[in-house]
Structure 1
Amino acid sequence: MNRIVPSLWFGDNNCEEAVNYYVTVFPNSQVHFMQYYPKEELSEHFVGMVGKVITAEFSLDGQKFIGLDGGPVFKFSEAISFTIECKDQDEIDYYWARLSHVPAAEQCGWVKDRFGLSWQIVPENIGRLQQTDAQIQVLMGMKKIIIAELEAAG
């Protein structure tokens, strides 16, 4: 059970698409439920939202999340991101290929996906791989982290 559950407000009304995509990317993931906005005549607050997600509960690799379609008022920013600690280069490559969608946003393991959410795709031993000035310099020049290059700089 997760006591702290991140809630994701999808501003482009693509919550359902995003949730269904994310559960294909991460192991041990599932959609628990999706509830949709009711008919517009029930409330002035629902105008234009019929068929959109009012609440989605899902888990990604065992971490529970809540998502919703909220309209364009709020957007994701790099101020919040999710870190994926990877066991090896193959795992880094796997997540990078599936989540990186905005090349201009890539830096030091950070990517932005097609839904605007930022992720940090790093080796689980990133602390050990940035102990020297040389390693930090190499890391600062990377987009996708290449473990072998950081080890060589050590």
Structure 2
Amino acid sequence: MKVTQHLWFEKDMEAAIGFYATLIPGSSVHWVTPVMADTPSGPAGSVKIASFTLGDQRYMAIEAGPLDPFNHSFSIMVECETQGDLDRLWDALREGGSVEQCGWLKDRWGLSWQIAPTRLGELMSDPDPDKVRRVTAAMLKMVKLDIAPLEAAAAG
């Protein structure tokens, strides 16, 4: 069995997935094609579908006009090894979008992302509950996550 996430774009699907593929190493757009039959969303050729990979995750996408907008019930989480990688990805995705607490943002297409340092998961799974509380308290004060203050909170 294969599991693939599927995204529905109202418009600009090719621009969105092409942009995403440039941001995350190991990503690529495999194919984009118009649907050559009439669909409930429009006449032949007005609907496009695509296959792409972000890092090691497979995705399909469709551009078929308005249906349900993206919301927080689905997000793409990217764990970054360095603050530089986190900053680069955050800055690119937030352009034209909006930022939120705790490393969340919405890109210009309305898709929710969580941009987090890999180190956060390590700190949050520490066996010391006091350390975890301090790290959590520090994270909850942040919009874009920052590794150095999280490490300082862990150290006490």
The interval holding the TM-score normalised by the smaller chain is: 0.7 to 0.9
Q: Report what 2:54 is aligned to.
A: 60
Contact 1:100–1:111 (CA<8 Å) still a contact in 2? yes
Aligned mates of 1:81, 1:57 — CA distance in 2: 18
The Cα of 1:68 is off from its aligned counterpart by 0.4
Aligned mates of 2:12, 2:29 — CA distance in 1: 15
Aligned mates of 2:21, 2:149 — CA distance in 1: 31
Task: Verify: 1:29 aligned to 2:27, yes or no.
Answer: yes
Aligned mates of 1:19, 1:78 — CA distance in 2: 19
The Cα of 1:134 is off from its aligned counterpart by 2.4
Gaps in structure 1 of 5+ consecutive residues: none
Deviations 1:24-58 (A, max 9, x none): 111112111111133xxx536463674441x1011
- Tell me the matched-pair count: 147
Aligned mates of 1:142, 1:30 — CA distance in 2: 31
CA 37–153 in structure 1, closer or farther in 2 if over 3 Å, else same: same
Aligned mates of 1:146, 1:99 — CA distance in 2: 16
Secondary structure of the residue that 2:53 maps to in structure 1? strand
Task: Verify: 1:14 aligned to 2:12, yes or no.
Answer: yes
Secondary structure of the residue that 2:135 maps to in structure 1? helix
Contact 2:105–2:113 (CA<8 Å) still a contact in 1? yes
For residue 34 of structure 1, what is the amino acid of its counterpart? V
CA 46–126 in structure 1, closer or farther in 2 if over 3 Å, else same: closer
Q: Report what 1:86 is aligned to.
A: 80
For residue 60 of structure 2, what is the amino acid of its counterpart? I
Identical columns (%): 34
Alignment of 1:4-153 (within 5 A): 4-10=3-9, 12-38=10-36, 43=38, 45=40, 47=42, 50-53=45-48, 55-101=49-95, 102-103=97-98, 105-130=99-124, 131-153=131-153
Contact 2:119–2:147 (CA<8 Å) still a contact in 1? no
Aligned mates of 1:31, 1:51 — CA distance in 2: 20
Aligned mates of 1:49, 1:153 — CA distance in 2: 57
Contact 2:41–2:64 (CA<8 Å) still a contact in 1? no
